[in-house]
Amino acid sequence: MTEAFLYTMMAGVFGLIIGSFLNVCISRLPDDYSIDEPRSQCPRCGRMIQWYDNLPVVSFVMLGGKGRCCGEPISFRYPVVEALTCALFVGAVYHFGATWAAVKWCVFSAILVELIFSDLETRILPDEFTKWGMALGVMFSPVVLLPYGLVGAMVSVYYPQASGAMASFVNSVLAAALLGGGLWFLGWAYERLRGREGLGFGDVKMVAMMGAFLGLETTLVGLMAGSLLGTVLGLAWIKLKRQSSDNYELPFGSFLGVGALLAAILSF
Ligand SMILES: [Zn+2]
């Protein structure tokens, strides 16, 4: 067994555990429930769940998707989040090895998975993940360098002795401020023109978080991919369900999250 294989296996197990934790966050953060309560309860009947019924993915399969306590169906979201987080962690460590880059992409994917599913279910993008995510993205920027890009070129013109770490840090901060600010402005203008809210402030903070992790160009690609996906799927959904677009709130954050994941993977 090679060392690389061992690291990838460890990333998979770790991904399942983190995925299980993300499920707790998706369920509890929007209602302000504590996420550090010692034991898990069945969301249907409130009874305690034993540890052997709470194993990532495995328990869902063993139980046939139904709670042992009350026989009510368990949401598919649980195994999907766990399997997806596992796959993303495995992918990051397989691609980057045991490096800081792998750590950064695992952290970023975990944040995105939480936000994608939280927005899909509750239309809430918790501050714990957007704001703290933004801070983490900025902190990673001098350690795992962002692509040089436009900001790097600008920095080298005005400050030729700047290091790569410095250019990456400036890219991260500028991308967060410019893209988050830009989206905020669009939302503000839309509200002024149409008299209703088009974007939540959660979306603005999420885009700033993406900017901090991805830098200017990659975030723009992610924004475009997410908006395109949101427009196509949103229109299809409204047609299918014959809903009026006025009373259906699109989970824009979920689409942004998928766009950011695609952009990140394409940039490797
Ligand atoms: Zn139950």
Q: What is the pLDDT of residue 243?
A: 64
Residue 146, SS3 per DSSP:
coil
Q: How far is the CA of 48 from the centre of ligand 1 (A)?
A: 8
CA 193 to centroid of ligand 1, rounded, Å: 48
Using CA atoms, how far residue 180 sits from 184, 186, 216, 226, 266, in Å, is 6, 10, 11, 15, 22
Kindly report the number of other CB atoms within 10 A of residue 234's CB atom. 16
State the distance from the centre of ligand 1 to the C-alpha of 32, rounded, in angstroms.
Answer: 21
Cα-flanking dihedrals φ and ψ of residue 59, to 5°?
Answer: -65, -40
- In contact, 77 and 48? CB cutoff 8 Å: no
Distance, CA of 188 to CA of 190 (rounded, Å)? 5
Encode 109-140: b = buried (16+ Cβ within 10 Å), e = exposed.
Answer: bbbbbbbbbbbeeebbbbeebbeebbebbbeb
Q: How many CB atoms are located within 10 Å of the residue 13 CB?
A: 13
- What is the pLDDT at residue 130? 97
* Residue 171 contacts residue 215 (beta carbons within 8 Å): yes
Cα–ligand 1 centroid distance for 147 (angstroms): 48
Query: What is the pTM for the complete model shown?
Result: 0.93
CA of 88 to the centre of ligand 1 (A): 30
C-beta of residue 104 within 8 angstroms of C-beta of residue 268: no
> Residue length, the chain?
268
Ligand 1 center–CA 73 separation, angstroms: 9
Q: What is the pLDDT of residue 236?
A: 87
Cα gap 261→88, rounded to integer Å:
10
The Cα–Cα gap between 225 and 219 comes to 10
Q: Compute, in angstroms, the gap from residue 52 CA to the centroid of ligand 1.
A: 15
What is the full per-residue pLDDT of the chain (268 aa) written as tens digits?
688 899 999 999 999 999 999 999 999 888 776 766 656 888 888 899 998 999 999 999 999 999 999 999 999 999 999 999 999 999 999 999 999 999 999 999 999 999 999 999 999 999 999 999 999 999 999 999 999 899 999 998 999 898 999 999 999 999 999 999 999 999 899 888 888 776 788 999 999 999 999 999 999 999 999 999 999 988 888 888 776 666 667 899 999 999 999 999 998 8
For residues 207 and 219, the answer to whether their CB atoms sit within 8 Å is yes
Q: How far is CA 9 from CA 3, 5, 52, 145, 224, in A?
A: 10, 6, 21, 26, 34
Compute, in angstroms, the gap from residue 66 CA to the centroid of ligand 1: 8
User: How far apart are the CA of 127 and the centre of ligand 1, in A?
Assistant: 30
The Cα 101–Cα 242 span in angstroms is 45
Angle, helices 201-214 vs 164-194, to 10°: value is 160
Distance 230 CA to ligand 1 centre (A): 34
In the chain, where the domains are located: 1-98, 125-268
Q: Quote the ligand 1 centre to 243 CA distance (angstroms).
A: 33
